[in-house]
Amino acid sequence: MMDSLPSTPGKFKVDKPQYHYHHHHPRQLILRWHHSPLLSKLAFWSFLAIALLVAFFFLSPTTPNSSSASGRRSLRNAAPWGGPDWEKRVRSSARVRRPGGISVLVTGAAGFVGTHVSTALKRRGDGVLGLDNFNDYYDPSLKRARQALLDRAGVFVVEGDVNDGPLLLKLFDVVPFTHVMHLAAQAGVRYAMTNPSSYVHSNVAGLVSVLEVAKSADPQPAVVWASSSSVYGLNSHVPFSEVDRTDRPASLYAATKKAGEEIAHVYNHIYGLAITGLRFFTVYGPWGRPDMAYFFFTRDILRSKPISIFEGPDHATVARDFTYIDDITSGCLAALDNAGKSTGSGGKKRGSAPLRVYNLGNTSPVAVSHLVSILEQLLKVKAVRNVVKMPRNGDVQFTHANISLAQRELGYHPTTDLNTGLKKFVRWYLEYYPTSSSKKGSRGGSSSAI
């Protein structure tokens, strides 16, 4: 695609709250408050905690390496928007050009998955408008190159942040989107250990910001958004199914994605938004993210640099359900086509709406060590391997997707095996980095397997 250009869902159980009412005269309550040192101390410390939390997120000093800082800068220094010419570009990009087509706002459009999904939608005649803040979590020049690709395909990418409420309101004022494909997020498991606030800013606050605008729109769009296979956390039942428990996250990234699923339930329940969550399993392919193992393994093998391959307890194999980008793209389009309709308008619910979550994986876990062997064959270079114990940094030992629900309800059928997918990736990599020694890459430069 891009390389040529290029059971039942989890049910939410609502427990009946147990309310205990105690009737007191208001004067009694006031007297108890003033004469209770415990309550006074509790109020003081609660206020102090809230103040510290606000200070942490909004008043902390910004640094060049802070993704959350860049997120806040994006709100203050975002590219100018508005005006007749800008609105004309927005409408033109979002115009539907096929009978029965849809008009989609794609957040994170200059990201890996966002670029492929936006291009595929545009190719089939749907209206597509992109939104991206071009942050520096990894080399922004790669995002700009994707933006140029989208521009050639006829997709306009608005430069802005999903937390910019006025911008989102303006976009919905200019275009009555039928769907939102929410892919903007702070990615990566390990980076959460050094910049946790960026995950709250993007993955929690960002999702709420999008849902707030969507629920108030008239008509309301259907929302499809990227959750993650990371929500399965410490779950040991394989393959991972949508009905498995997801209440034991192994990383802050996973916790924010799990929080997103609960937030989605709220907006579906109260406002009638049709919401579909997609749990992606280790997506790879051309135009991918430099912080992913297959990407920086390729870079470091070509540079003859050692690569660290993790192993579990007792030398157990670390494996991933690697899923090629074209298969993920097909699943995203199928989710949009089967998203159902939101039932509210202007924030008022008028009936029940679909709330679903699907695994999108390949169902064929591969050992990371075997991935390295495939790269060695394709690059014709022997890797310098360093096998090390998996650190306690949020990574999990094994992922394996049960995709029977997506197969049944979305018609999702992945077709690309790892050998074929990596061959396409390597071909793209050698074209994009022709010297094979480019210093473009991900934050940190640690060459270790996810």
Catalytically active residues are: 253
Q: Is 355 exposed, middle or buried (CB count within 10 Å of its CB: 0-12, 13-18, 19+)?
A: buried
| CA distances from residue 168 to 85, 154, 172, 213, 259 in whole angstroms, order as listed | 18, 21, 6, 7, 22
Residue 47's Cβ-side half-sphere holds a number of Cα atoms within 13 Å equal to 6
Closest CA to 219 of 34, 89, 346: 346
> What phi and psi values does residue 196 have, to the nearest 5 degrees?
-65, -35
Q: Are the C-beta atoms of 367 and 318 separated by less than 8 Å?
A: yes
325-337 burial: b if 16+ Cβ within 10 Å, else e? bbbbbbbbbbbbe
209 residue type, one letter? S
| C-alpha–C-alpha distance, residues 209 and 163, integer Å | 6
- Using only C-alpha atoms, the chain has a radius of gyration, in whole angstroms, of 23
73 residue type, one letter? R
| CA distances from residue 250 to 105, 141, 199, 361 in whole angstroms, order as listed | 31, 31, 14, 20
| C-alpha–C-alpha distance, residues 405 and 335, integer Å | 12
- The gap from C-alpha 194 to its chain's centroid, in whole angstroms, comes to 19
Residue 248: count of CB within 10 angstroms of its CB: 14
Residue 195: count of CB within 10 angstroms of its CB: 22
Q: Are the C-beta atoms of 137 and 443 separated by less than 8 Å?
A: yes
| C-alpha–C-alpha distance, residues 134 and 117, integer Å | 17
